[in-house]
Structure 1
């Protein structure tokens, strides 16, 4: 099937934009590192100035009430990660300008399988204070040495005059920072000027994005375009475009790369792409949350149930890395009590509109597929239990991209269960973007090295222990993307990485860790973590205020801003 073409006048406008970018290649290639760093600083100022309008536009299309704490999500996943990424990229360029590596000053370590690791969080004093108790490491593939990591960090900025041509970025419609971060990575990691085609859902952000990217637009290195699938199709097939990057679903990816219908299926089977250029992607999948059995208090059960409800209901489930299946041990003595808390957490989370296209249909399909095992909770939410491990159905193979959560029970004590849960996640779940593990500190102590080995065995681009993999998305210096090794005809959760402000060459995964107990309750368990309930929790009462304050701080880090942030966070 041949994709429909845009109207003639629109094609002329698209050709004009691409031709502008062809000329912009030379302008970008002529920008030395100092100029590129200056552009980042200008965009940081523009983002700070546009942040309020940015959040208002996001709130409008997501139809959130003006007084909702959920507005905090738009601050924390909109301006905030863009501001932190701009700063981190500028720091990497500064290092290169001084003939140093971007990873100089970061701690190196070792992970199972002979992997070198780079500790990217915490790094600054601000990280230690604002994300106390959270950490993130980048694991390199087995065999890569520390010296190789240092020498290769910088990617295209090691050779800024080498043009990567014109690239197309097909922007996401769910998380508003994604289009901007993808554009930055194309330019700074690959030396590609960019035609950013917005998802129609985010057209209301066009003015904001024009303001944020104005320094690059004025240079001729970026053009922002709107329209439907016909516009996207025209751009990706344009003869002057040398690369395509997209965010979305595997089904959308395959439609773009191979076409639709029986002809598209045949091309995919044959591995015959419709495109004559490379395609990278960040796609979704079915993310598991593996809950290890242990001796938990009622407060632990309640808090971790809220944690998992957040992993599912953040942005109403319209996240590529939203948890979709909770994996628990059928032999865990506290299983039923935990599931009761999980139902309560799903029911008590604030209601919100199903703004993303097709959400209600996907919820309806889940209800029809699982019948009596699918339980309606609150408004538009579904909890599926009673999955047959031998025949679990589409819960493990189809991304719902909606507020639908399933529970899969597997037998065994802690060690047996962990081994089977890892095997199931690797072999039966669609996608490799993110996997979550939740374990009591006592359980972690008993497992010891076996837990680290299990993390190493999980074939996911981000693995989070007692944290949500979304924290990896928010960490500017961490790579974000699928586990490496996928191909166009078996794309899973995508090809390549984004974010990665240290510009590491060929990272394997990011491993995020967080506190099992929040402050101040952590003190009762001998832990000194300062982190209370995180502001991204859907149950956080002050998320909107804390999110705004964090974005303001990211624009201009300073000691005087910390008391208000801490006070708001503690009230959450």
Structure 2
């Protein structure tokens, strides 16, 4: 694409953004609904192309389940949530949350320092444009709370929310979105956020790995292309640089690594002096990854609880060959916890039972060898590797950077009780690179004092998402949990990123979010790599969202999945 062609494309996108600014909320809801339908229509070829990119065995149920879930399923859900929010805006001026905003921590005494004053909104169960998305059944027992800074009471919060709804979608202009190469649904979600949350036209530059996806993404997001709000291009760094430098570009969004961010903003991927003016003169938002911890609070767990949590941890390592920004990289335990050895044995046993998957991401084989100190298998696969008893005071290489490979370190902390562990674990979390997401396993049956220590620990973790008793990836999958690094990042110190995506409710003053799940469930999640019917279930949820986009209940589709759910 030469300069003239690029300028013409960007000009059409700017015109599309101006037309979009003149539409009302009902028209925007209809555009989002039609995009959901288009996404569902190409779900199968999209997922199959993604499986091929990742060199998985054709017909692999676990790989297909992953690609359906993180690609078309998540995209369709975000479209439906966006449509519902826009309809609510048309009807009442504000999006509707499942519960009214409330002040958090009012009058609560803390044993670990005073929690910040926050406003909380519950995000489950969510609604689509025609009603229920059946979250009560699909996500039974789960809760998701977004926590926003308190501007001085609920009335002030409502006013701030109203301003956000009225002003943010008027940002306008053209955003260049530089797509990630690890998960195929990330670029689609970034596009939806830029269009519906900011009113921008979008030039999506695909990661080279995702070039085969272009026709499927153009079909899935076809209504946006037809509206002049989206153009998808391929190419290397030269295409990206030209798009960033173009006069028509008013915003940049990047999902990728910090080195890429530094190269864009400062002109170099190294970590040199940041006192000079940045090379990039345009506003930028980004999501840059994380060294993701999973904290296991000491206590007494039943055998079933221990096994379920071990399976969750193992799946969070193995999913997508660990090429996820929130793949678990550190398991943080209490050295004196009596069940520590049993828990680690369960994790190791589950990981050992999984076939090694190809190291398809660029540089993965080299990084796996660098992290493990071993020679990778000759067939190019990367076994999941767990290193236990790691002392980061003497060797911090496994947690000093984000290794984009299936390698995880277990770090035991010395503590005499739960309170001591929480204090040490919180201090440890501050030393980890990144602030995107963390998971915490909390036992039941705690004393009142220990339960308060556990809640204080959750409250004070400085991550964009804190997941209790589940993998933080669920927050991304839900679609209405704002997704991004913990507030406070800057161009000089971007941490896990600047700004949020996945905010169809257009919430103001977002601090972070907490999601919660049962400690144990008889239902095995379909994203477990060893699930016997994962592909069937994820395909069923995609079909369910298609029915909801058509204005139908989808209940029959849901009930048809029950046998596969129960088999696990």
- Taking structure 1 as the reference length, the TM-score comes to 0.90
SS across alignment from 2:398: helix
Q: Hey, what does 1:136 align to over in structure 2? A: 144
- What are structure 2's unaligned runs of at least 5 residues? 106-114, 376-380, 549-553
The answer to whether structure 1 residue 417 and structure 2 residue 417 are counterparts is no
The answer to whether structure 1 residue 43 and structure 2 residue 35 are counterparts is yes
Q: Hey, what does 2:555 align to over in structure 1? A: 559
The offset of 1:104, in angstroms, is 5.2
Q: Hey, what does 2:434 align to over in structure 1? A: 431
The answer to whether structure 1 residue 307 and structure 2 residue 312 are counterparts is yes
RMSD value over aligned CA atoms? 2.1
State the distance in 2 between where 1:329 and 1:539 align: 28
Q: Hey, what does 1:499 align to over in structure 2? A: 502
SS across alignment from 1:399: coil
Deviates more, 1:391-400 or 1:541-550: 391-400
C-alpha contact 1:72 1:543 (8 A) present in aligned 2: yes
The offset of 1:459, in angstroms, is 0.2
Deviates more, 1:342-351 or 1:359-368: 342-351
Q: Hey, what does 1:540 align to over in structure 2? A: 531
SS across alignment from 1:333: coil
State the distance in 1 between where 2:47 and 2:171 align: 34
C-alpha contact 1:286 1:399 (8 A) present in aligned 2: yes
The answer to whether structure 1 residue 98 and structure 2 residue 91 are counterparts is yes
Q: Hey, what does 1:22 align to over in structure 2? A: 14
SS across alignment from 1:515: coil
SS across alignment from 2:326: coil
Deviates more, 1:459-468 or 1:298-307: 298-307
Structure 1 residues 463 and 160 mapped into 2: Cα distance closer, same or farther (>3 Å)?
Answer: closer
C-alpha contact 2:123 2:481 (8 A) present in aligned 1: yes
Structure 1 residues 316 and 148 mapped into 2: Cα distance closer, same or farther (>3 Å)?
Answer: farther
C-alpha contact 1:258 1:265 (8 A) present in aligned 2: no
SS across alignment from 1:518: coil
SS across alignment from 1:481: coil
C-alpha contact 2:355 2:383 (8 A) present in aligned 1: no
The correspondence for 1:250, drawn from 253, 258, 269, is: 258
State the distance in 2 between where 1:76 and 1:33 align: 28
C-alpha contact 2:85 2:505 (8 A) present in aligned 1: yes
The answer to whether structure 1 residue 335 and structure 2 residue 340 are counterparts is yes
For 1:54-453, list aligned pairs within 5 A: 54-70=46-62, 71-103=64-96, 105-109=98-102, 110-111=104-105, 112-123=115-126, 126-143=134-151, 145-153=153-161, 157-159=165-167, 162-260=170-268, 265-266=271-272, 268-368=273-373, 379-412=382-415, 413-426=417-430, 428-443=431-446, 447-453=450-456
Q: Hey, what does 2:108 align to over in structure 1? A: none
The offset of 1:316, in angstroms, is 0.9
SS across alignment from 1:189: helix
The offset of 1:114, in angstroms, is 2.4
- Taking structure 2 as the reference length, the TM-score comes to 0.91
State the distance in 2 between where 1:444 and 1:84 align: 39
Give the paired residue count.
541
State the distance in 1 between where 2:464 and 2:493 align: 16
Structure 1 residues 34 and 213 mapped into 2: Cα distance closer, same or farther (>3 Å)?
Answer: same
Structure 1 residues 192 and 306 mapped into 2: Cα distance closer, same or farther (>3 Å)?
Answer: same
Deviates more, 1:343-352 or 1:175-184: 343-352
State the distance in 1 between where 2:233 and 2:153 align: 42
The offset of 1:13, in angstroms, is 2.8
The offset of 1:350, in angstroms, is 3.9
C-alpha contact 1:81 1:177 (8 A) present in aligned 2: yes
State the distance in 2 between where 1:18 and 1:502 align: 28
- What are structure 1's unaligned runs of at least 5 residues? 1-8, 373-377, 520-531
State the distance in 1 between where 2:95 and 2:16 align: 27
State the distance in 2 between where 1:444 and 1:277 align: 52
